[in-house]
Amino acid sequence: LQKLIHLLQATDDPLIQEQALITLSNSAAFSVNQDIIRNMDGLSVIGGMLSNCVPKVKEKALNALNNLSMNIKNQEEIQVFITQVCRTVESAPLNSDVQLAGLRLLTNMSVTSDYHQKMINSIPCFFHLLSEGTGRTQIQVLKVLVNLSANPAMTRHLLRAQV
């Protein structure tokens, strides 16, 4: 895991980055690896890949963070990327793999109300995706919206959203 994280930092080759992110994502299926990746500063390295201009690399980084977000301590570190993930969802092509990967991560990060405030500005986008997206996109957006709606503090923001 340490070598994969170092490899991500050391290379500019998108194919190597993509494969390293896939491997880290698969490794994150095991809770012990989630802790190891966090303790090696892997979350910030993976999060740094969110600014990569290659869509496949960005998608794989979102998938890895999604798998790593199943851990509460990891969520505390991943939350710094929520605004960037929201911007990625908004700017990605409609129904793209990048957009869906971002929505899946936001779904996990919105299960508890701890980070809902960071998603407020994206509520109009979520409603737009709900009306314009395909079935897969709509389902993923609905999961985020259901999570947000479970928080009474979000009611005003959901009802006032310009749609």
pLDDT at 2: 95
13-31 pLDDT, tens digit per residue, is 999 999 999 999 999 989 9
Sign of CA pseudo-dihedral 118, 9, 104, 130:
positive
Q: What is the pTM of this model?
A: 0.96
Angle 32-36-37 from CA coordinates, rounded to 5° = 115
For the segment 101-121, the average pLDDT, to the nearest whole number, is 97
pLDDT at 76: 97
* 110: pLDDT strictly greater than 90: yes
pLDDT at 116: 98
Q: How many helices (H) and strands (E) does the chain have?
A: 11, 0
Q: Domain residues of the chain, as ranges? A: 1-78, 80-162
Sign of CA pseudo-dihedral 157, 97, 49, 7:
positive
50-109 pLDDT, tens digit per residue, is 999 999 999 999 999 999 999 999 999 999 999 999 999 999 999 999 999 999 999 999
* Cα–Cα distance, 33 to 126 (Å, whole number): 32
Match domain 1-78 to its CATH number in 2.150.10.10, 1.25.10.10, 3.30.1360.30, 1.20.1250.20.
Answer: 1.25.10.10
* Cα–Cα distance, 71 to 92 (Å, whole number): 26
